[in-house]
Amino acid sequence: MLQSYSQISGWGKYVPEKRLTNFDLEKMVDTSHEWIVQRTGIEERRVAAKGETGGDMALAASRQALETAGLKPTDLDLIIVATSTPDYFVPALSSTLQAALGATCPAFTVMTGCTGFVYGLVTGHQFIATGAFKRILVVGVELITPFLDWEDRNTCVLFGDGAGAVVLTPSPGPRGVLAFDLGSNGELGHNLILEGGGGANPMSHQMIDNGQHYLKMNGREVFKFATRILPQSTQAVLNNAGMGLDDIDLIIPHQANARIIDLAVRYLKIDPKKVFVNVNKYGNTSAASIPIALVEAIEQGRVKPDDKIALVSFGAGLTWASAVVQWGVAVPPSNGRVAAETVPVEVVAAS
C-alpha cells in the first residue's frame, strides 16, 4: 500500500486583544494576584470582545496558517476543528469555518476538550499516511469565557480564549507525526463538566437558575489526574516512537497550570529549558493551548528543521493525547506569516 509521511507546513494563531489580568480579577471575585500565580502560574488571559466568536478566531488563525503554507483555501482537502465551545450545536464550527474561508472540502469537528488539537493532528496524519488527502487544516479554538461563572474563583481564573491552526501536507521522508498516545477514562468525566444545554439536561429556566450552563471542575481530582497522566503519556509516546527523552528537542505540554507542568518536569527529570511554557500569558485555552504554544515557539526561534517535538495534553473526558512530531520545514525569520519552504509533495512507498 502506498503511504506518505505528514509534515506541518503552515501555522498561525489568534488571541483576542483584551487582556484580563489577575489584578482585574481581584475586583471581580474573591481572589488575589499572588493566590492565582502561586497555584497556577497564570498572570493574565485573553477574553474575546463582545460579538467575537470562536469562528472569527478560527478564521484568523487559519488564514495565517494557509498563508504560511503558501496555500489557498480551495487547495484544502479536509478541515478538522477541535473545540468544546462551538458557536452553535448545529451547524458544526468546522462547516461555518469552511464557508468563511471559501474552502470546498469536507470538514468535521473533534470534541475531546483540551486534548482536541492533538486528536485532530493525529487524525489528519492518518488521512495523509494512507494517501487519501494531501492538504489538511487542523484548528484548535475555544471561546470559553462565556461559559465561566465569574463568581467562582476555582474556574474563572484559569481559562482564556484563543485559536491556533496548522496545515498538514505530505512529506517524502519521516516527518510530522512519528508516534502518538491517545486515551480516555470516562469514569472520571464528571470532574470537568458543563451539565446544562445538552440532551441529558436540556435548556430551561431551572437549569440556568441552577448555574448548570457554566463549566464546573473538581480541581483537586483534575490536578491529581493531570500530574499522573502527563508524565505517563509522555513516556508512552516516546516508547511508541522508539525514543528517549534525550532524543526530544522541545516538549510543548498543554498549558493548563504551571504547577502541573513543573511536577511533570521534575518527575521525568527533564531539563526545564526543553519545555515551552506560556500559560502565564494566556491561561488555559483548552484545545487552542498547544497550537498557540507551538506557534509562539516557532516565533521565538525554538523550532528548527529536523527537531523532534513532543506535544502532550490532558483534558475533559477525562482524556489524554500525545504525539511526537519531527519538524520538516524551514522556519521563516519573521512572525510566521510568509510562505515556508517545504519539501516536495509526493506519495512514497511504505518501508
Domain ranges of the chain: 2-176, 178-334
- Given the residues 22, 156, 254, 257, select the one marked as catalytic: 254
Query: What is the reported pLDDT for 134?
Result: 95
Are the C-beta atoms of 259 and 269 separated by less than 8 Å?
no
Residues 6+ apart with CB under 8 A from 152: 29, 214
Same-fold call for 2-176 versus 178-334: yes
Query: What is the reported pLDDT for 336?
Result: 41
Query: What average pLDDT does this structure show over 309-323?
Result: 96
Q: What is the DSSP string of 209-273?
A: HTTTTS-EE-HHHHHHHHHHHHHHHHHHHHHHHT--GGG-SEEEE--S-HHHHHHHHHHHT--GG
Are the C-beta atoms of 233 and 177 separated by less than 8 Å?
no
* Rounded-to-integer distance, Cα 306 and Cα 186, Å: 36
* Rounded-to-integer distance, Cα 88 and Cα 83, Å: 11
Tell me the backbone φ, ψ of residue 102, rounded to 5 degrees. Answer: 85, 25
Query: What is the reported pLDDT for 343?
Result: 32
Kindly indicate the confidence band of residue 5, based on its pLDDT and cuts at 50, 70 and 90. Answer: confident
Are the C-beta atoms of 70 and 148 separated by less than 8 Å?
no
Q: Which residue has the cell 532524543?
A: 247
- Given the residues 22, 114, 125, 257, select the one marked as catalytic: 114
Kindly report the CATH number that applies to the domain delimited by 2-176.
3.40.47.10
Told to judge if 114 belongs to the known catalytic residues of this protein, a careful annotator would answer yes
Kindly indicate the confidence band of residue 332, based on its pLDDT and cuts at 50, 70 and 90. Answer: low
Q: Is 306 left (phi over 0), alpha (psi -120 to 50) or beta?
A: left
Are the C-beta atoms of 308 and 248 separated by less than 8 Å?
yes
Condensed to tens digits (0 to 9), the pLDDT of residues 100-145 reads: 999 999 999 999 999 999 999 999 999 999 999 999 999 999 999 9
Question: Residue 308 is inside which H or E element, if any?
Answer: strand 308-315
Told to judge if 257 belongs to the known catalytic residues of this protein, a careful annotator would answer no
Residues 6+ apart with CB under 8 A from 199: none
Kindly indicate the confidence band of residue 338, based on its pLDDT and cuts at 50, 70 and 90. Answer: very low
Told to judge if 105 belongs to the known catalytic residues of this protein, a careful annotator would answer no
How does 272-288 read in b/e, with b if 16+ C-beta sit within 10 Å? Answer: eebbbbbbebbbbbbbb
Kindly report the CATH number that applies to the domain delimited by 178-334.
3.40.47.10
